[in-house]
Amino acid sequence: MLIDKISITRRRFLAAIGAALTLAACAPMPSAPAADPLPSWNAGPAKARIVDFVKAVSTGGSKDYVAPADRIAVFDNDGTLWLEYPLYTQVKFVFDRIKALAPQHPEWQDKEPFKSVIAGDLKGAMASGEKGVLQLLLAAQAGTTGEFAAAVNDWIAKTPDPRFKRTYDTLIYQPMQEVLRYLRANGFRTYISSGGSVEFMRPFTERVYGIPPEQVVGTRQKLLYEVKDRQGVLVMQPQIEHVNDGAGKPVGIEVLIGRRPIAAFGNSDGDLAMLQYTTTGGGLRLGMIMHHDDAVREYAYDRNSSIGKLDKGLDEYRSAGWTLISMKNDWKEVFAPLK
């Protein structure tokens, strides 16, 4: 059909087309009603809760409408966005980095917990407890932020998980990737708030999750500003400045964002303060807890696990008004397809 069959004035025509095209191109529009925004989720209370919440806060005129600037969603990383079991990925990185740095540190050969790590005895290294792991972390995570980011990116590109035979940046949960994209398509900004180090995560979160560095909250080492070769740089110091776990998560969120989130996703007791802070803000709020109950496709662990322990959360999620996500029942797929 030729346009010359339509008898409207040019101005009116342009205005109508312009409005329609501008809306389509600019506005954070939800997917067309027919399309499922969360195709890897089985129908059930978890999926329904997420979809109902997003519609309620992003539909103009809704009694629960929230302005886009306040549509902040926070996600734990380990065990919520990617694999954490049987050992946090950052701890694996730290062990490998200690081995790589060992030739420059002959004093480590006879000193625990370094000695065990160098010998490949991870059980022995873990026996040093939290204090030992912290000592290893501070020895492994040093140099300028730029140098350290390069070391992280190099490691993550070439280190596969022993069971899944894939690098860790591909062991990300497809259903959660869909949630991230669905929220962003509806005007949300998606933040990570993780116990992991911010300098460990920022090098890859944009590529892997579409989450830029300024939206990553994590545990922080002290930084010192220095001038090296006539360039101003930030040097990582062997001192923890902020532990972004438990009650530290709301604090880390306030430092970076200065707003209370309206949606939070976690999977362990370390996420409960973040969920509580998010969902006690008044108005409609979303709190979701992932339950790792899928021993076949991933792992099953909760109350007695030293990694990603979910105990108090399993007792209290109902009374807090949060919804449990069962990996086994709610997810059609677990990991994102390899590209």
Would you tell me which residues interact with a second copy (CB under 8 A)? 1-10, 13-14, 17-18, 21-22, 25-26, 69, 145, 198, 202, 212-214, 216, 220, 223-225, 227, 230-232, 234, 241, 247-251, 254-259, 273, 276-278, 280-282
Residue 320: CA atoms inside 13 Å, Cβ hemisphere, count?
25
To a second copy, the closest distance from the beta carbon of 236 in angstroms equals 10
**CB closer to a second copy, 237 vs 326:** 237
30 vs 281, beta carbon nearer a second copy: 281
Residue nearer to a second copy on the CB measure, 118 or 217: 217
Q: How far is the CB of 210 from a second copy (least distance, A)?
A: 12
How many CB atoms are located within 10 Å of the residue 56 CB? 15
Contact (Cβ atoms closer than 8 angstroms) between residue 86 and residue 315 = no
Return phi, psi of residue 109, to 5°: -60, -35
Residue 80 or residue 219: which is nearer to a second copy going by CB?
219
- Phi/psi at 78 (nearest 5 deg)? -65, 115
Q: For the CB of residue 257, give the shortest distance to a second copy in the complex, in Å.
A: 5
Minimum distance from CB of 339 to a second copy (Å)? 21
Rounded to whole angstroms, the Cα distance separating 333 from 335 reads: 6
Structural element, H or E, at residue 225: strand 216-228
Radius of gyration of the chain (CA): 23
d(C-alpha 220, C-alpha 144), whole Å: 14
Query: What three-state secondary structure class fits 331?
Result: strand
Nearest-approach distance from CB 249 to a second copy, in angstroms: 8
Rank residues 129 and 232 by Cβ distance to a second copy and give the closer one. Answer: 232
Minimum distance of a second copy from residue 289's CB (angstroms): 16
Instruction: Report the C-alpha gap between 6 and 9 in whole angstroms.
Output: 9
Pick the closer one to a second copy by CB: 136 or 272: 272
Number of neighbours of residue 214 by Cβ within 10 angstroms: 12
Q: How far is the CB of 270 from a second copy (least distance, A)?
A: 13
Amino acid at residue number 262:
I
Q: State both tokens at 39.
A: 């195709």
Q: Dihedral (C-alpha) 206, 209, 211, 216: value to the nearest 10 degrees?
A: -100
Enumerate the β-bridge partners of residue 232: 227
Q: Which is nearer to a second copy, 9 or 104 (CB)?
A: 9
Structure token digits, residue 183: 């929220």
Smallest distance, a second copy to C-beta of residue 231, A = 4
Among residues 318, 268, 264, 267, which one has the least CA distance to residue 71? 264
Q: Which residues have a Cβ under 8 Å from the Cβ of 177 and sit 6 or more positions away?
A: 209, 336
CB closer to a second copy out of 35 and 69: 69
Mapping DSSP to helix (H, G, I), strand (E, B) and coil, where does residue 223 land?
Answer: strand
Which of residues 117 and 201 has its CB atom nearest to a second copy in the complex?
Answer: 201
- Give CA–CA dist 234/187, Å, rounded: 33
Q: How far is the CB of 146 from a second copy (least distance, A)?
A: 9
